[in-house]
Amino acid sequence: MPKRKAAIAVGGVAALGAAALLLPNANASQDKNQASGATGTAKTLKATQASNLAAQLQKVLGDAVAGSYFDSGKQQLVVNVVSGDNNVIAQVKKAGAVARQVNNSTRELKAAATTLKTKATIPGTSWAVDPRTNKILVTADSTVTGAKWNRLQSTVQSLGSGMATLQKSAGTFKTFVAGGDAIFAQTQQGGVRCSLGFNVTASDGSPAFLTAGHCGVAAKDWSDSQNGQPVATVDQAKFPGNDFSLVKYNDKTTQTSSTVNAGNGQTVQITQAADATVGETVFRMGSTTGLHNGQVTGLDATVNFASETVPGGTDTVNGLIQTNVCAEPGDSGGSLFTQDGGAVGLTSGGSGDCTSGGETFFQPVTAALQATGATLGNGAGAAGGAGDQSGSAAPSASAGDQSGSAAPSASAGGQSGAGDQSGSANPSASASDPAGAGGDQSGGSAAPSASAGDPSGNGAGSGDQSGNGSANDGSSLTSTR
């Protein structure tokens, strides 16, 4: 297999190992129980364990649970239970989580979200349940003014003072086309660039990768170098509604790897697909901005992007993960992952940039795998996110936001960085290989300007890319294509 083809197969997956280095204590053993304050005894957990426990409790208790979040300080899962339901509280505590009594039920929160959808589907708006406040957080970008703002504000007020919170974003919601390991395509409007998310095996056994749906809608044939020959073809693309694409490698013998490229030759091993949990720390890798980290702030988010194809129209995407991790054009489709190797999301869009910050949204990997029938990495594991993972990343790197300079000990497969990756980055790794959390964010249309921060044709995502993301000035709400 040509080296360049191996590079795209590996690069999107390499970043996880390096990200784990950012939090030296995150992989420490958490087997003992610890007091959880007024609610009794709760287990200390890793973020992935908390996510798995939250999913199990949600399945068993249904709407009796009004959301949950990960208390990263105490490393405990906090589960919201409607006040007065002592039986549910007892079950939550028995499972090892903290039971927190709240006023708003899941049914009431869903009804409020339905009202927002009916009355306030306005380009430049988003909403998601914030379990930490037990309210819906509604956000309006800088384009929502005048009558649109008045309409949104009155709708939020009609929900009641204890049901929703309204906030303003300084930027504009948009898709961010660019990426972890950059991938390129040509359209009638010019060149576009996105990011490879995670390598997967398609349901028919073909090697493939996941990226953003708005990237797959924009172009069918993708290359691993600017103006290069196509090496992969879109098989499925969903946008709007969802935001994921399954792209199959043209060479059926391509060997994919379950790693993420963290930059500077560093890689992170991906071990499973994982559902996001509010409060947990996550990492995003993008070809424009490198490696960045932050927290999950909301789940099941709805985002109303201004349509790129229908003047005055709205492209609504549902079921997204909301975070405060920064992103810029060229990062769309890139990987969002956890320190212990969980593939969490594909970069969709947001507002702001990596100078001023902002809100970002991600397509859940678990939903994309279920919809496409694909499995992570080389197909060695299932698409689900269950199971306890010990985390293979080294615990030595410093904490904080890194632009691609992960510690050398994170290197999983001896990847040399920009485009010269031999494909040996542990291809046997387990199923949930989230490759590039940085997603290619082009700022919307398939215009040539979407290639801000475009590396010099290598597309390997070394993490040391000088692109400044000029297509995204933070003034509009965009997707990450």
| Dist CA 151 CA 135 (whole Å) | 19
Q: What is the phi/psi pair of residue 86, to 5°?
A: -65, -30
| Dist CA 313 CA 308 (whole Å) | 8
Side-chain half-sphere exposure of 189, counting CA atoms within 13 A = 14
| Dist CA 336 CA 244 (whole Å) | 13
Angle between helices 146-158 and 106-119 (to 10 degrees): 150
| Dist CA 439 CA 460 (whole Å) | 13
| Dist CA 384 CA 155 (whole Å) | 37
| Dist CA 83 CA 105 (whole Å) | 9
Pairing of strands 76-82, 164-168: unpaired
Q: Is residue 363 classed exposed, middle or buried when 0-12, 13-18 and 19+ CB atoms within 10 A define those classes?
A: buried
Cα torsion for 447, 450, 452, 453, to the nearest 10°? -130
Eight-state DSSP code of residue 223: B
In sequence order, what are the residues at sequence separation of 6 or more whose Cβ sits closer than 8 angstroms to the Cβ of residue 89? 39, 81, 99, 101
In the annotation, is 332 catalytic? yes
Token readout for 23 is: 């939090």
- Asked if 228 and 460 touch (Cβ cutoff 8 Å), the reply is no
Three-state SS for 269-297 is ECCEECCCCECCEEEEEECCCEEEEEEEE
Hey, which residues does 70 pair with through a beta bridge? Answer: 77
In the annotation, is 181 catalytic? no
Q: What is the phi/psi pair of residue 171, to 5°?
A: -95, -160
Q: How many residues in total does the chain contain?
A: 481
- Answer whether the bond into residue 123 is a cis peptide, omega within 30°: no
Amino acid sitting at position 225:
S
- Asked if 257 and 307 touch (Cβ cutoff 8 Å), the reply is no
| Dist CA 463 CA 266 (whole Å) | 9
Catalytic residue among 332, 335, 430, 442: 332
Q: How many whole angstroms from its chain centre is CA 397?
A: 22
Token readout for 75 is: 């490393």
Token readout for 320 is: 């997204």
Catalytic residue among 141, 224, 243, 315: 243
- Asked if 25 and 55 touch (Cβ cutoff 8 Å), the reply is no
Token readout for 187 is: 């359209």
In the annotation, is 476 catalytic? no
Catalytic residue among 105, 214, 275, 351: 214
Active site residues per annotation: 214, 243, 332
